[in-house]
Structure 1
Amino acid sequence: MKHFIRQVFKEVLENPVFDELLIEKYFSKEYIQLVDHSQLNYEEFVLHIKKLKEKVTEQKLEIINYAENGTVIFTNHIAKSTLKDGSKVVHKVLAEFTIQNHQIIRCDELTLLVEGNHTEKDLGSEK
């Protein structure tokens, strides 16, 4: 499952282009994301990804550690983002992904801004 999550990171998040077909490939229409103090359904998640692509010129995700248990994979990863204004932000992310029928159906995530402007602390849930 680590390979699957790595592909999601590469094709959906690190990809500078908004591609809803890639989101549909990897995320169930029943998708729910709990992130910090917000809950996003599938449609809101699509809007979130679109907003990210509008704000971010480059994003790199590095998995520091992971654990798997059946249909669940937990990642501790770092998200390094360069915004369109040239500023950089770094978030530490703890995420628990539930996979069903080769798609992510749920993500329970905590993000922590570790570098950059505090106004970007909610970059992980902004829509």
Structure 2
Amino acid sequence: MKHFIQQLFRDVLENPVFDQLLIEKYFSKEYLQLVDHQQLNYEEFILHIKKLKEKVAKQNIEILSYAENKNIIFTKHIAKSVLKDGSIVRHKVLAEFTIEDEKVIKCDELTLLIEGNITAKDLGSEI
């Protein structure tokens, strides 16, 4: 499952282009994301990814550690983003992904801004 999540990060988040077909490849239409007291359904998640592509010029995700249990993978990772204004922000992310039928159906996530402007604090849940 680690390879699946790494590929998802590369194709959906690190990819500078918004590609809804790639989102559909990895995420169930029943997808639910809980992030920093926000809840996003599948449609809202698509809007979130569009917003990221508007704001972020380049993103790199480094998995620091992970654990797997049946259809669940937990990651601790660092998301480094170069925003379109040239500034850099880094978030530490703790995420628990639930996978069903080879797609992510749920993500329960905590995101902490560790570098950059406080205005980027909610980058992980912005719509």
TM over 0.5: yes
Q: TM-score with structure 1 length normalisation?
A: 1.00
User: Could you tell me which residue of structure 2 aligns to residue 110 of structure 1?
Assistant: 110
User: CA offset at residue 37 of structure 1?
Assistant: 1.2
The corresponding residue for 2:86 is: 86
1:21-77 alpha-carbon deviations (Å, 9 max, x no partner): 000000000000000010000000000000000000000000000000000000000
Question: Equivalent residue for 1:60?
Answer: 60
Q: CA deviation at 1:90?
A: 0.2
Amino acid across the alignment from 1:42: Y
Matched, 1:51 2:85: no
Deviation beyond 2 Å, 4+ runs, structure 1: none
Alignment RMSD, CA only? 0.2
CA distance in 2, matches of 1:120, 1:56: 11
- Percent identity between matched residues is 76
- Aligned residue pairs total 127
Partner of residue 13, structure 2 = 13
Question: Structure 1: where are the runs of 5+ without partners?
Answer: none
Q: Distance in 1 between matches of 2:86 and 2:10?
A: 21
2:122 maps to a residue whose letter is D
SS at match of 1:18: coil
Amino acid aligned to 1:125: S
